[in-house]
Structure 1
Amino acid sequence: MTPEQKAYLEKIKPLQPKTPYVLNAFKAFMVGGFICLIGQGITNFYITFFNFTEQTAGNPTVATLILIASLLTGFGVYDKIGQFGGAGSIVPVTGFANAVTSAALEHKSEGIVLGIATNLFKLAGAVIVFGAVSAYVIGMIRYLIKLFI
């Protein structure tokens, strides 16, 4: 960095707004917690009204959260939630659904197959491959540990 650049940065530093770290962390905590609260409510709904157990209610709960997040993304609501809550809106299931749906919506003008379907799996494909490879590696490590112990 040149001396001129350093001098410039020092000059503008007092003019830059301060980042409200505590407020941002609080909003992220509240938004993420609220999303998890909704997920727990959906789980309790499936347990109460459909006689699922805690173990079997997980899959339909995840599917419901994905559907809700995708619909909210399609209507433009999830973006507003993300702007307010920051990292709190990236709770794994709903954040992933938002990312996949957003990628598909960006390219809808290119058609269903070449636009939506192709771009829908750009992000999802990488995540699925990484997840499958990671699961295989961890499974092999666990198998080898059990084999030798």
Structure 2
Amino acid sequence: MAKPKLTPKQQKYQNKVKQAEPKPDYLRNALLAFFSGGLVCLIGQALIDFYTVTMRVPPKEAANPATATMILIGSLLTGFGVFDKLAKYAGAGLAVPVTGFANSVVSAALEFREEGLIYGVCAKMFTLAGAVITFGVMTAFVFGLIHAIFH
């Protein structure tokens, strides 16, 4: 869809807005995302190691409870209003991993809780996450099918 043609007055206003708009610090944002994402991965690996030692299971199997724990942590931090404050500074490093997925589900549920348990929380909690789950399951199915056929 093409952008509507701006009048000269509107174009002048847009130019003023661009001049007044603060420029993002790309290097700082990239470093914060890198280190916060690394910290999330470090915590996840520590959980895998913890579950490997305490449950005496191989690391591949210990990854499942570690992932569930990361989802729980992300959900709790969102519920207590801490996740958004952390994500404001950490950026994509905190929002992209599984913790960000948990945040998207819980945020939607909290936003619509006043509409009731069924029509609010349950119906709206997968507004964003539903698409991710659907495409994730479908992609896993297709790749699993391809793997089964050719191996």
DSSP 3-state at the match of 2:57: coil
Query: Per-residue deviation at 1:123?
Result: 2.4
Match of 2:137 among 123, 126, 132: 132
Paired with 1:142 and 1:48, the residues of 2 have a C-alpha distance of 32
Deviates more, 1:122-131 or 1:39-48: 122-131
Q: 1:128 to 1:14 in 2, by over 3 A?
A: closer
Query: Per-residue deviation at 1:12?
Result: 4.9
| Residues 1:43 and 2:48 are matched in the alignment | yes
Name the counterpart of 1:91: 96
Name the counterpart of 1:78: 83
Query: Per-residue deviation at 1:6?
Result: 4.0
Query: Per-residue deviation at 1:70?
Result: 0.3
After the TM superposition, which segments of 4 or more aligned residues of structure 1 sit over 6 Å from their partners?
none
Q: 1:8 to 1:109 in 2, by over 3 A?
A: closer
Unaligned runs of 5+ in 1: none
Query: Per-residue deviation at 1:136?
Result: 2.6
Alignment coverage as a number of residue pairs: 146
> Hey, which of these two has a bigger chunk of helix by percent?
1
Query: Per-residue deviation at 1:52?
Result: 1.7
Paired with 1:101 and 1:49, the residues of 2 have a C-alpha distance of 29
DSSP 3-state at the match of 1:76: coil
Query: Per-residue deviation at 1:138?
Result: 2.7
**How high is the TM-score relative to the length of structure 1?**
0.86
Q: 1:55 to 1:109 in 2, by over 3 A?
A: same
Query: 1:49-101 deviations in whole A, cap 9, x for unaligned?
Result: 22121111010001000011000000001001110111111233111000000
Paired with 1:7 and 1:126, the residues of 2 have a C-alpha distance of 40
Name the counterpart of 2:60: 55
| Residues 1:33 and 2:35 are matched in the alignment | no
Unaligned runs of 5+ in 2: 1-5
Q: 1:105 to 1:10 in 2, by over 3 A?
A: closer
Identity %: 50
Paired with 1:76 and 1:124, the residues of 2 have a C-alpha distance of 19
8 Å contact 1:35–1:91 — kept in the other structure? no
Paired with 2:119 and 2:16, the residues of 1 have a C-alpha distance of 49
